[in-house]
Amino acid sequence: MLDADDATGALDAERVTQELANAFEELISVAPEQWHLFQPNWPSDHHQSMLDEPTGERRD
């Protein structure tokens, strides 16, 4: 559960980010085959997606 750090409701971004990562880790571990990124996540993924894009050239 995400909690406010003080009475004003200000959140500690680092703690909340870690809590979200922990929640995703738990959910993904239950059924990892159901999770997929629909966009590049790592620099190497971005480079590969650029190579996969159509160039307008005909491939035989």
DSSP-derived secondary structure letter, 32: G
Calpha distance 23→28 (Å, rounded): 9
Tell me the pLDDT tens digit for each residue of 25-47: 999 999 988 888 777 777 887 76
Any idea which residue has 């050239």 for tokens?
Answer: 57
Calpha distance 28→51 (Å, rounded): 29
- Tokens (6 digits) for 17: 């980010």
Q: Which residues contact 2 (CB under 8 A, 6 or more apart)?
A: 11, 16, 19, 20
Verdict on whether the full-model pTM lies above 0.85: no
DSSP-derived secondary structure letter, 22: H
How much is the pLDDT for 21?
94
How much is the pLDDT for 7?
54
